[in-house]
Amino acid sequence: MRKLKLNGLAAAALAGLLAAGLPLAAPDAAAEWRGWNIHVPDYPVSHGMEDFAKKIEERTDGRLTAKTYHSGVLGTQPDAIEQVRLGGIDFAVFNLGPMGQVVPATNVVSLPFIFKGMDHMHRVMDGPIGDEIGAAMAEKGLVPLAWYDSGARSFYNSQKPIMTPDDVKGMKVRVMNNDLFVGMIEAMGGNATPMAFGEVYQSLKTGVIDGAENNWPSYESTNHFEVAGYYSDSGHLIIPECLCINKGLWDSLSAEDQEIVRQAARESAELQRKLWAERAEASREKVVAAGVKYNDIADKAAFQAAMAPVYDAFLEKNPEIRPLVEKIQATD
């Protein structure tokens, strides 16, 4: 057999995947918990997860310990969602976008323009609707401990400013793994390509795709701005993220430890949200200074109108989720 030469990152990813591939038969709260994170170490999510780990360790006098594996070395997001469900990975911060394939109720937050802004998203997620979405996740083996921020996602590409939905026509646009996002791009006449986050830079560079969509911090931290220099402020998706834990592991904890873990998670979310707001601004400034051509889309009505078929198709396929959509729309 040919010997494979792996660089450090690939070797770590492989080791992680091999280890992660074996679901634990019984969760072991005393063993060091392994946490999955897709982002580089200097990122608001990463700092939130480090804060969480530090606090549970301190507050249980080291009975509980946790280590976060950053930069996606434990695998892609769809794989990691499965692994946290199975117990091969203990905790993670997931974007609710790809979660929709596993927990249909979470799709409500992936509907374009469902939230009127970040504050509206917070009011929804920090109240009973967030609890309802969380309960649906717990049923699938993922217990959400706190909601993290992920800003608003906008389109960026290597060709031209996007001003109207028509500008997306014919463009090859990368989306996160969820049929809803494929429908979203197709509704504007673009060609959607679901693809792992880690593959986007190279695909933009080689022209496999023309563009993608994300918030300022991810556009900046991944260096996508170097290879896709037009960023158009569509803000079409505001998707929260969750710090969540394997349900078996959660259930094995004493009530006292559950309280410590949940409190640490909440505090980590407060920190993450504060760092998020700062980083969103800093990232925007950094990429604009680097020469990114940014355009505002003051009137988003045309994009919202283009999304009507996405809602129709989604509600037709998932009629049981309609009340949740209506409750979000009715929240001030």
CA distances from 143 to 94, 108, 114, 132, 255 (A): 12, 18, 24, 12, 15
Look up residue 178 and give its amino acid.
N
Which residue, 77 or 246, has its beta carbon nearer to ligand BDP?
77
Among 68, 83, 157, 215, binds ligand BDP (CB under 6 A): 215
Question: What part of residues 20-39 is at the interface with ligand BDP (CB under 6 A)?
Answer: 38
Question: What part of residues 228-257 is at the interface with ligand BDP (CB under 6 A)?
Answer: 241
Joined together, the tokens standing for residue 261 give 């873990």
Which residue, 51 or 57, has its beta carbon nearer to ligand BDP?
51
Joined together, the tokens standing for residue 4 give 């494979």
Helices and strands, counts by H and E, the chain: 15, 11
Site string for ligand BDP, 142-161 (x = CB under 6 A): --------x-----------
Among 68, 83, 218, 272, binds ligand BDP (CB under 6 A): 218
Which residue, 46 or 246, has its beta carbon nearer to ligand BDP?
46
Smallest gap from Cβ 203 to ligand BDP, in A, equals: 12
Smallest gap from Cβ 64 to ligand BDP, in A, equals: 25
Joined together, the tokens standing for residue 320 give 């049981």
Stretch that binds ligand BDP, among 16-24, 102-110, 213-221, 310-318 (CB under 6 A): 213-221
By CB under 6 A, the count of residues binding ligand BDP is 10
What DSSP string runs through 179-197?
HHHHHHHHTTT-EEEE--G
Q: Is 157 exposed, middle or buried (0-12, 13-18, 19+ CB in 10 A)?
A: buried
Q: What is the chain's percent helix, strand, coil content, to nearest 5?
A: 50, 15, 30
d(CA 211, CA 160): 10
Give SS3 for 253: coil
Stretch that binds ligand BDP, among 18-26, 121-129, 212-220, 229-237 (CB under 6 A): 212-220
Question: What part of residues 172-211 is at the interface with ligand BDP (CB under 6 A)?
Answer: 176, 197
Smallest gap from Cβ 292 to ligand BDP, in A, equals: 17
Which residue, 39 or 248, has its beta carbon nearer to ligand BDP?
39
Smallest gap from Cβ 151 to ligand BDP, in A, equals: 8
Contacts of 265 (CB under 8 A, 6+ apart): 52, 145, 146, 243
Question: What part of residues 88-127 is at the interface with ligand BDP (CB under 6 A)?
Answer: 95
State the CB neighbour count (10 A cutoff) for residue 17. 17
Where do contacts with ligand BDP occur on this chain (CB under 6 A)? 38, 77, 95, 150, 176, 197, 214-215, 218, 241
